[in-house]
Amino acid sequence: MDTTELLKVIEPDGATPGFDTDLSDAELVHCYRTMLAVRAFDDVCMKLQRAGRIGFSIPNKGIEATQVGAASAIDKTDFLFPSYRDFGMALYHRVPPVEMMHNMFGNELDSAHGRQMPVHFSFVDPIRLYSISSPIGTHIPHAVGAAHAFRLKGEDRVCLVSFGDGGTSSLGFHSGLNFAGVWKAPVVFLCQNNGWAISCPSEEQTASEGYAIKAKAYGMPGIVVDGNDLLAVRQATSDAVARARRGEGPTLIEARTFRMGGHSTSDDPTRYVPAELLEEWGRKDPVTRFQRYLEKEGIWTAKLEEQLTAEVSAEINAAAKVAEGTGQPGLETIFSDVYADLPTHLRKQGEFLFDLTARRGDAAAGDGAFPL
């Protein structure tokens, strides 16, 4: 396969000459709604962080088509190993926004009990979404190990692992792809080449002509796809998933897109992203592009837009209010879920902590008795 040829389906005006999607109208609308939900979630989280109500968030603007297109190609029995810029993968598979907001606040209903940073989601239902990790590329070998285990056990599952262009410079990328190629593990590697690894431009990240070409060194196919084209990303991912299910091994997909915001809420992209480059990619907005496609298919209307925008806005705002009003994790969660049987030294530390906080009048410690 030519790793320099760009796979594209939707033209800038929304046309798809000769392409017939396998998605129903309802499924196409769900894809569009998910992208709108990502933007609404982003917007609310930015406001919460700027107001000092949460500590951190990761902007997703510009990457929505890659996230949603890839997520639409996997089954709920498969495993997702996402990066921290993949809100759309969870939302596409109908993870309730309130469950994601619990993590943003690190409250008592957060699946990680406040032990993780915000945007480090993990879920087992309705989709198996592996815990997001901050260290770059460390989740890539995890995905390969899980996929290899599925193959050894004869389970019909595939792993999809997503990472940025910066992640290709990590040891985890090399180790993961090398083992996956040797084992023919049923895993799909999705490189979101969004132009920047924080402030490092892609052209300073690698001397290769791109990232898909790196697949050749590991004995797997590599494909380059227009990351702002939801249907093209879905097609590339669907083909890779089918290949993995047939026992033919992994695929590396390079989705070329652009991060139209900061690396995080701690970042100021105006210091390193040229304004004209941002304007250029703004004209390639993936949400607008998919909207034009739906309009040409006779699915999108102004009334539908108004309805969906109102729905996602109300849903995300309500989720934030619920999560912010939820209590903080109990003190015992510092010690729980670590060992099946709590070691003596941790029990002593827990008893000391509860006694100390009780004497200082912290209601969270109850009567001072360590509950574990």
H-run or E-run covering 188: strand 187-193
Q: Which of 113, 263, 289, 293 is catalytic?
A: 263
Q: Note if 293 is an active site residue.
A: no
Annotated domain spans of the chain? 6-324, 331-365
Cα–Cα distances (Å) from 93 to 123, 192, 370, in that order, read 11, 19, 39
Tens of pLDDT, residue by residue, the chain (372 residues):
456 789 999 999 999 999 999 999 999 999 999 999 999 999 999 999 999 999 999 999 999 999 999 999 999 999 999 999 999 999 999 999 999 999 999 999 999 999 999 999 999 999 999 999 889 999 999 999 999 999 999 999 999 999 999 999 999 999 999 999 999 999 999 999 999 999 999 989 999 999 999 999 999 999 999 999 999 999 999 999 999 999 999 999 999 999 999 999 999 999 999 999 999 999 999 999 999 999 999 999 999 999 999 999 999 999 999 999 999 998 889 898 889 999 999 999 999 999 998 888 876 776 778 888
Q: Which of 85, 120, 157, 259 is catalytic?
A: 259
Superfamily holding 6-324: Thiamin diphosphate (ThDP)-binding fold, Pyr/PP domains (3.40.50.970)
Q: Which of 272, 283, 345, 360 is catalytic?
A: 272
Q: Note if 94 is an active site residue.
A: no
Q: Note if 272 is an active site residue.
A: yes
Give yes or no for a contact between 202 and 196, defined as CB atoms under 8 angstroms apart. yes
CA–CA distance, 111 with 235 (Å, rounded to integer): 32
**Chain length of the chain:** 372
DSSP 3-state assignment of 317? helix
